[in-house]
Amino acid sequence: MLVIDTHAHIYSPDEKRYPVIEKPLRPPAGSGSLEQLREVTKANAVQGACLIQVSTFYRFDNRYICDSAIAAKQWTAGVCTLDPEDTHSPGMLKHFAEKYSLRGMRSIPARGGKLDHPGVRALWKSALESGIVINALINLEQAPQLETLLQAFPKLPVVLDHCLSLKAGPQFEKTLDAVLRLARFRNLHAKLTFLPTGSTTGYPCTDMHAPCLKIIDAFGGDRCVWGSDFPCDLWTPRVTYAEHLRIFQRDLPLKDPLRAQILGETAKKLWFPAAMPQ
């Protein structure tokens, strides 16, 4: 079965070549590089991965993502993050797509939490023109603004990062309801990365199974993707890479055709349309 990891953050050990921001959120020593990701994916029979720019380490400096996307173009798809308030960002997105074959952009709100912002709209327009997939990183409060943008860009493929960061707690029901309402937009896809981050327990994150199944039922397998949150020792310390994958391979009661869509087939259509990851 084809497996593609749609959510892997990478960190270079060479901080002279790729400088980091002040007070970065660091992974454990020796963790998070492109080379380690390749080792982990091979060990778990994962054929491809989306490399997600990590703003808590590099902010809007996408050089490591760009260079890695070229160095590992046979099995990766680069996903950049750009400042929606920088007027140069739409042009930079087109440049990244043309020169480095980046295939995605993580879309964040402008300052003050405004997602329906002229700068965000300009980036989405550039993404549509360049064949870029949008990864929307937003919270519950910004969901109505996402609806407005989805209506304005019906032909642009958009992925909902972490399903509004769904997690157990006082906002759980409201957040789940909002995700399910968003399923009516046919260009929106659900990234099912929230089980280990939203659960009150470790593996197999049983308390997140029922909401995950509801989201899968609402979106359908052709609009759901799996991602690891690599490096897991930083982002999902109670659940390993192999365990996170095992939840979707074995623990969730999914029929094989649906499981195949979530684990790889849908991701291939979004980020790897030209060739099968190797």
**Average of pLDDT values for 175-200?**
98
For the segment 103-149, what is each residue's pLDDT rounded down to a tens digit? 999 999 999 999 999 999 999 999 999 999 999 999 999 999 999 99
Full-model pTM: 0.97
Pairing of strands 133-136, 158-160: parallel
CATH number of 4-271: 3.20.20.140
> How much is the average pLDDT of 154-171?
98
Rg (CA), the chain: 17
3-state secondary structure of 7: strand
Between CA 200 and CA 266, with CA 3 as vertex, the angle to 5 degrees is 90
Cα dist. 273→38, 56, 99, 173 in Å?
21, 29, 18, 35
Q: What average pLDDT does range 157-173 have in this prediction? A: 98
Average pLDDT in the chain: 97
pLDDT in tens, 43-99: 999 999 999 999 999 999 999 999 999 999 999 999 999 999 999 999 999 999 999
- What percentage of the chain's residues is helix, strand, coil (to nearest 5)? 45, 15, 40
277 — pLDDT class (breaks 50, 70, 90): low
Q: 101 falls in which pLDDT band (50, 70, 90)?
A: very high
